[in-house]
Amino acid sequence: MSMRYIGLALRGLCLAVVLTAAGLGQSASPAPPATAVDAAVVKDFEARVTKYMDLRKKQAGSAPKPTNSADKLTKAKEDIGAKIRAARADAREGDIFSPEIAAYFRKQIAATLSGPHGKRIQASLRHAEPIAGLAIKVNDKYPEGVALQSTPPSLLLNLPPLPKELEYRIVDSALILRDITPNLIVDVLRDAIHMPQ
């Protein structure tokens, strides 16, 4: 497990170096200064994500390959989803977004939305066909046929990086952790997005 932490940390460090060298992320809203407590919370979040990814790998196996057949795509997605859902039958909201992690995320999001670039990020959120009134539940599928609201780049710069199989999405005022291939809601952080007036 410790090797995994080192791997994640190295990946984050490499990305930071690349982005800094490229001059990227400079226009993102600055995150609040990272404290030792914040670092510990992020480490805890990464460990929980890693635990999910271990389970996922065991259930889903290797990633599906490109195909000409929409039938095969649907079947592969449903098979993987069914296996993960069964293996996480007892999953609960907050398994990943624990109270401490939830507080950290809410702080990061609030800082992003109220920072010097907050207005443009809020405008992007408002113009991105916001999803509202959707019933979302951990370990359920994200409702089929419903659009996915885009996540502002500046917000993504201020949240912990995820493995490529997962993504942060916004549903109404909630932030969800979504597993892309099986279209599953891994966890939900409610009351996360507040648009300052």
| Contacting positions for another protein (CB under 8 A) | 15, 18-19, 22-25, 27-28, 63-71, 73-74, 77, 117, 120-121, 123-124, 127-129, 144-145, 147-154, 156-157, 161-162, 164, 167, 180-181, 183
- Taking the least distance from each CB to another protein, the nearer of 37 and 120 is 120
Q: Token pair for residue 70?
A: 């929409």
Q: Is 176 helix (H, G, I), strand (E, B) or coil?
A: strand
- Taking the least distance from each CB to another protein, the nearer of 65 and 92 is 65
CB of 136 to another protein, least distance (A): 17
Of all helices (H) and strands (E), which one includes residue 135? none
- Taking the least distance from each CB to another protein, the nearer of 37 and 82 is 82
Q: Token pair for residue 136?
A: 């979302």
CB of 155 to another protein, least distance (A): 8
Q: Which has the closest alpha carbon to 185: 196, 171, 164, 195?
A: 171
Q: Token pair for residue 2?
A: 């410790």
CB of 141 to another protein, least distance (A): 11
CB of 11 to another protein, least distance (A): 10
Strand order in the sheet with 166-171: 166-171, 174-179, 184-189
Place of tokens 């099986």: 182
